[in-house]
Structure 1
Amino acid sequence: MILIAGAGIAGLAMAKALELKGQACEIVERASHLPTAGAGIFLLGNATRVLERLNLLEEVEAAAHPILKQRIFNDAGSLLNEVATESVWRGCGPCFALSRQNFVRILASSLMSTEIQHEKSILDVEPSGGFQRVTFSDGSCSHYTAVIGADGIRSSLRTSLFDPKPPYPLGITCWRFVTENNTGLDSWTAMVGRRRTLLAIPISKAHIYVYADCPSVDVQRPSLSFLKKHFVDFAAPLGQIVSKLDTPREVHSSVLEEIPIKAVGEGQYSPHRRRRPCELPEHGARGGNGLGRRFNIGGDNCEQQRHN
């Protein structure tokens, strides 16, 4: 039996891959429900190639919006670069965008035998007779052939095995939300200005996922009104999207953080570095790229390479 800590995208996808290889596994998730924070996610060709090998590509494609182009503008609206995604990812996989809630739901519902235990986390792991003895937050203990950590930037597993130092802020505050696509936006679109970035990605015909960031020292209060004021001078195609945000809505705001450890092996254990939010620092691509880098399912091995 293999234990996976975390029922996010990485943990659920790993469980699906292990099931396809005939491996039994369990998932423990410290939250009371499946994590869906992040609003939207952009899946590049390497991510959708993995989904095809997990037998999930058709279901994800039905719930997603195809991304055929990526465009970058300056804050005045002048086009800086345009890329046809097919020219980059031909022979690998198509590019899609969809809501993170739908993506997590598809991954979770695809699991046939894996049990997800909520409100439960790992306190300690130690070798025991060729197995890993795991102590949980509810006081119980069990033995596993392997333990995979995918429980986020504040991972209890990482803290117990490696450096207990907390994540440190990178000095960038970001906002993420989903809103109506009233401008007819049909492609991945980013705008870069002085110390500011805007990104919008259609996740359906009717809705777009929006991301914005700026240095934290410039942020008085990470509210919707501050966001609108701070990006008021951005031109089309994205400026009017932010300026028309007049109705109350769920806006996620946070400071990007990083784990101060090196990606090196340490005996039986290997820590990996990551940032939060996972989909943001590379203009929204990190979430999709991460899925493609996490697994090697082409041969007989299913190897976890990167945590989310």
Structure 2
Amino acid sequence: MSTAIVVGGGIGGLATALALTRRGWSVEVLERTPELTEVGSGISLWSNALRALDALGVGSPVRAQAVEDVSAGVRDARGRRLARTDVATLRERFGAPVVVHRAALLEILRAALPEDTVRTGIAVSSADPDGSVTHSAGVSTADLVVGADGLNSVVRRAVCGEVRARYAGYTAWRAVVELPEKLTEFGETWGRGARFGMAPLADGRVYCFAVYNAPEHAPGTFAEVRDRFAGWHHPIPALLAAADPNAVLHNDIYDIPALPSFTAGRIALLGDAAHAMTPNLGQGGCQALEDAVVLARLAAEPDGLARYDRERRPRTRMIATRSARIGTIGQLSAAPLVALRDNVLRLVPASLSLRAMGEVLDWTC
């Protein structure tokens, strides 16, 4: 039986473990944190990700989280429509996206694995292309080592050496909150150097995020975030007022430069370890799920890791580039450029936007 060590117990790591297990591999997941949890954050799962989850056998419980009868698009800070997404056509052509709490997705993936697959509280210090992994509990070896350990990946050093993350120029605050009213809006609001996004969850809560331009590592407070967006359209101030400051996540936004390879020897990188991207297309987790399915399909074949690298690097680079470009446009702060951007958005037909999404969403396993 082929063996694999997956470093990292996030979405990409658990999905890879599940994909390999379903193909008969013996898999061990090493996760440095004492428990698997994600607090205060949602994730958008587009049709490409849902196809990957179907391949993993967990598409149905994830789809059960879908919220129907919502509108989508982009507004300005006063609430005026800048762009509208044709939700009916989107659903018919690609399948409707699902927004879930990250903790719920992690639990679905974990529950599908054999009980002893994940070892928590294990910190990996190094990996070697020969298949050995040094960690806080000793040294383990396997036929395949998967680096799913995120933006500051330890495993990536064995493939590409030190890779410095790049600050995108903006910071994000994320929360899951409850409102007394039902939210039926799925989309973003764009202002000057700032954006706000919201999406209803199946349990009635709302996932929301606030993004604004800021120096790297600027501390900020949630009270300042509330003040910054206080004059924006309803229900943005209400969502921020309902958020528990102690449960809000605050992260600067980073990506990494294009890597020369995702593989070396017995090592394969995936997810943020391979192609950390800005979240502007909602594709970071989706691409990790694609990675997992493709890697499991190819890993046991002759030259399989090289084929994985050839298949995944161009696609993820294309999506990362598009995401960064959207972020640059969305975070414009000069008034004349913001006015030009907003006017252009109003003129773009919804059909053109859907066509542009096709190259991303039409992926199949």
The TM-score with structure 2 as length reference comes to 0.72
Among 139, 142, 145, the alignment partner of 1:144 is 142
> What does residue 4 of structure 1 align with?
6
Bigger drift between 48-57 and 190-199 goes to 48-57
For 2:285 and 2:86, how far apart are their aligned partners in 1?
17
For 2:263 and 2:108, how far apart are their aligned partners in 1?
34
The answer to whether the aligner puts 1:289 opposite 2:286 as a matched pair is: yes
> What does residue 57 of structure 2 align with?
55
For 2:288 and 2:92, how far apart are their aligned partners in 1?
18
> What does residue 134 of structure 2 align with?
135
The residue type paired with residue 220 of structure 2 is P
C-alpha contact (below 8 Å) 2:160/2:261 kept by paired residues: no
C-alpha contact (below 8 Å) 1:68/1:84 kept by paired residues: no
For 1:14 and 1:69, how far apart are their aligned partners in 2?
33
C-alpha contact (below 8 Å) 1:15/1:114 kept by paired residues: no
The residue type paired with residue 12 of structure 1 is L
> What does residue 112 of structure 2 align with?
110
For 2:133 and 2:65, how far apart are their aligned partners in 1?
37
The answer to whether the aligner puts 1:171 opposite 2:197 as a matched pair is: no
The answer to whether the aligner puts 1:95 opposite 2:97 as a matched pair is: yes
Residues 5-42 of structure 1 show CA distances to partners (whole Å, capped at 9, x for unaligned) of: 00000000111111111122110011111141461111
More helix by share: 2
The residue type paired with residue 77 of structure 2 is D
For 1:169 and 1:8, how far apart are their aligned partners in 2?
22
SS of 1:281's equivalent in the other structure is helix
- Residue 66 of structure 1 and its aligned partner are, at CA, apart by 4.3
For 1:299 and 1:102, how far apart are their aligned partners in 2?
23
SS of 2:173's equivalent in the other structure is strand
> What does residue 46 of structure 1 align with?
48
The residue type paired with residue 293 of structure 1 is E
Same amino acid, percent of matched pairs:
22
Among 201, 221, 225, the alignment partner of 1:223 is 221
Bigger drift between 161-170 and 111-120 goes to 161-170
Gaps of 5+ in 2: 300-307, 317-365
For 2:239 and 2:232, how far apart are their aligned partners in 1?
10
- Residue 117 of structure 1 and its aligned partner are, at CA, apart by 1.2
SS of 1:156's equivalent in the other structure is coil
For 2:296 and 2:4, how far apart are their aligned partners in 1?
20
Gaps of 5+ in 1: none
- Residue 69 of structure 1 and its aligned partner are, at CA, apart by 3.8
The residue type paired with residue 239 of structure 2 is I
For 1:5 and 1:57, how far apart are their aligned partners in 2?
24
For 2:218 and 2:125, how far apart are their aligned partners in 1?
37
C-alpha contact (below 8 Å) 2:43/2:99 kept by paired residues: yes
The residue type paired with residue 71 of structure 1 is G
For 1:136 and 1:96, how far apart are their aligned partners in 2?
36
Residues 230-289 of structure 1 show CA distances to partners (whole Å, capped at 9, x for unaligned) of: 0112123434433x33765511111112334524356535662314xx6x333xx12453
SS of 1:176's equivalent in the other structure is strand
C-alpha contact (below 8 Å) 2:40/2:248 kept by paired residues: no
> What does residue 185 of structure 2 align with?
187
Please list, as runs of the form range in 1=range in 2, the aligned pairs for 1:24-35 lying within 5 A after superposition.
24-35=26-37
> What does residue 78 of structure 1 align with?
80
For 2:263 and 2:217, how far apart are their aligned partners in 1?
40
Bigger drift between 227-236 and 164-173 goes to 164-173
Count of residue pairs the alignment pairs up: 297
- Residue 181 of structure 1 and its aligned partner are, at CA, apart by 3.0
> What does residue 207 of structure 2 align with?
209
The residue type paired with residue 167 of structure 2 is P
The residue type paired with residue 174 of structure 2 is R
Alpha-carbon distance change, 170 to 21 in structure 1, aligned in 2, over 3 angstroms: same
